[in-house]
Amino acid sequence: MTAYSLLELNTYLKRVLVLNFEEPLWVRAEIMQAKTHRGHTYIDLVEKAADDEHVQAQASAILWSRQRKVLESKLNQNLDDWLTEGAEISFLVEVQFHEVHGLAFHVIDVDPAYTLGKLELQRQEALDKLRLEKLLDQNKKCQLPDVIQKLAVISSDAASGYQDFLQQLRENAFGYAFDLHLYSNAMQGLQTEKELSENLEQIRAQNYFDCVVLIRGGGSRIDLSAFDAYGVAREIAQCPIPVLTGIGHETDTTLADLVAHRAFKTPTAAAAFVVDRNAVYENTLLEKFHHVEQLTRYSLQRESLQLKNQENSLRYLPAEVWSRAQSELDRTKKVVDLLIDQRLNSEKSKIEKVATHLAALHHHSVLNRGYTLTTLEGRIVRSSAQIKKGNSIKTRFKDGVITSKVEAQHD
C-alpha cells in the first residue's frame, strides 16, 4: 500500500477542493463565536439540530480586514452588530484549503436579508408565544406612580442614549430631582437576556423603585435583535414594576417595547415623559390648591359678609332690646307702684279705722256726750244688781266725780 506524506495528502485535498469549488458559494450557519484580531475576523460557525440543538456541523471562517471594510462600506454598518454569538448568517464564502492551516472559508459577502428574515421569523414566534402566555399586557397592568422619582435604569453607561436620558432629566425645566440607579447591562447579543434577568431580579428585591427604564442609544434592526428575543420580552413582561423603554429606534417596535408599560422612540422621549408626568401631577396639585384657595376665599368673604350683617344687627338690636326692657320695666313699676299705693291706702285706712274706733271707745267721748261712769270700789258698775243699799258709789262726769250713798234700790 502506498503511503502519502502529509504534504502530498494536503496538496491532493487542496487540488480536489479547488477543482470542485471553483466558484464561491453561499452557506448558512449560526455564529458560535467571532473574534477580531489585527482587523481580521475569525468566525466559528456551527449548525445545530432543530430538536435538541446538538452540533451537527462546525467550521471556521475568516473575514479578512480588507474584505471587511468593503462589506461594511457596502452595508453601511459595522459588522460587529451582525457577527454576534447566536446570529444566523448567510455568507458567500470561498472554500479554501491550505497545506499548513487546513480547511477555511474566506468570507466574501454577507446576505443581510437572510439574517433579518430569520430574525423576523424568530420575532414572530416569540410574539405568538408571548400572546399565548398572556404576557403582552402584564407589565401594562402595573400601576405607574403619579410622581416618578426613583428610577432603575437598565443600560450601558457608555451608551449615548443613556447620556441623553441623564441630560434630559438633569436639565428639566421644573428643577425636579431624581434618584437614579444605573444597572449596567449588555445591550446586544446573547448576554442581554441573562444580564437583564439578573438586573430585574435585583431591582425587584430592592422594592424601592417607582419604575424601570430600559435605555439603548439606537441602532440597526440587527443591533436591536436582543430586544426581540422571547426571554428578554418575558423578563420585562413579568417585572412587577412598570418598565419604560427608550430603545432608540424610529421605525420598528421591538418585543421589549410591545410588552413594556410604555415605549418611547428615544431615551430623550422616555425622560421627557417622566418629567412631564411629574409636571402634570404638580399642575393637578396646583389646580386643586387654587381651587381650595378660591373656595376658602369665597367662604371667608361669605363669612365676613355674614359677620358684617350680624354686627349691624347687633348695633341696632340692643337699642330695641333696651327699649323693650325699659317699657317692660315701666309697666312693672306702675304695677308695683299701684300695689304699694293700694297697700299704703289699706294700711292707712286700717289705722284710721282703728283711730276712729278708739275715739268711739274712749271714755272721755262718752262722758262728753253727757253719760256718766259709775264705779264701786274702783270697778265699773255695769248693772244695778252689783250695788246694794248702803254702798258708797262714785259717779264720774266729764268735769268731775261725786260720791253718793245708795239709799234704795228700784227695779
- The b-or-e profile of 288-327 (16+ CB within 10 A means b, else e) is eeeeeeeeeeeeeeeeeeeeeeeeeeeeeeeeeeeeeeee
From 83-91, 254-262, 284-292, 370-378, give the range in contact with another protein by CB under 8 A: 370-378
Verify binding: residue 404, another protein, rule CB under 8 A: no
Verify binding: residue 373, another protein, rule CB under 8 A: yes
Verify binding: residue 55, another protein, rule CB under 8 A: no
From 58-66, 86-94, 262-270, 359-367, give the range in contact with another protein by CB under 8 A: 359-367
Verify binding: residue 344, another protein, rule CB under 8 A: yes
Question: Contacting another protein (CB under 8 A), which of 7, 55, 70, 351?
Answer: 351
Cβ pair 256, 245 in contact under 8 A: yes
**DSSP string for 229-290:** SHHHHHHHHH-SS-EEEE---SS---HHHHHSSEEESSHHHHHHHHHHHHHHHHHHHHHHHH
Question: Contacting another protein (CB under 8 A), which of 354, 372, 388, 401?
Answer: 354
Verify binding: residue 382, another protein, rule CB under 8 A: yes
Rounded to a whole number of angstroms, the minimum distance from the CB of residue 357 to another protein is 6
Rounded to a whole number of angstroms, the minimum distance from the CB of residue 309 to another protein is 40
Verify binding: residue 358, another protein, rule CB under 8 A: yes
Four-CA torsion 331, 337, 339, 343, nearest 10 degrees? 180
Rounded to a whole number of angstroms, the minimum distance from the CB of residue 380 to another protein is 5
Task: Compute how many residues bind another protein; rule: CB under 8 A.
Answer: 21
Verify binding: residue 355, another protein, rule CB under 8 A: yes
From 10-18, 220-228, 301-309, 339-347, give the range in contact with another protein by CB under 8 A: 339-347
Grid coordinates 430586544 are at which residue? 227
Verify binding: residue 332, another protein, rule CB under 8 A: no
Strand partners, 28: 90
Element (H, E) at 116: helix 112-132
- The b-or-e profile of 336-347 (16+ CB within 10 A means b, else e) is eeeeeeeeeeee
From 118-126, 239-247, 262-270, 356-364, give the range in contact with another protein by CB under 8 A: 356-364
Largest CA distance in the chain: 224
From 227-235, 308-316, 348-356, 385-393, give the range in contact with another protein by CB under 8 A: 348-356
Q: Pick the closer one to another protein by CB: 286 or 401.
A: 401
SS3 content of the chain, % helix, strand, coil (to 5): 50, 25, 30
Rounded to a whole number of angstroms, the minimum distance from the CB of residue 321 to another protein is 23
Angle formed by the axes of helices 267-361 and 160-170, nearest 10°: 30
Sequence letter at residue 112:
P
From 63-71, 109-117, 216-224, 372-380, give the range in contact with another protein by CB under 8 A: 372-380
How far is it, in rounded angstroms, from Cα 199 to Cα 244?
15
How far is it, in rounded angstroms, from Cα 196 to Cα 155?
9
Nearest to 210 by CA among 233, 244, 187, 186: 244
Verify binding: residue 379, another protein, rule CB under 8 A: yes
Rounded to a whole number of angstroms, the minimum distance from the CB of residue 342 to another protein is 12
- Residue ranges binding another protein (CB under 8 A): 337, 340, 344, 347-348, 350-351, 354-355, 357-358, 361-364, 373, 375, 378-380, 382
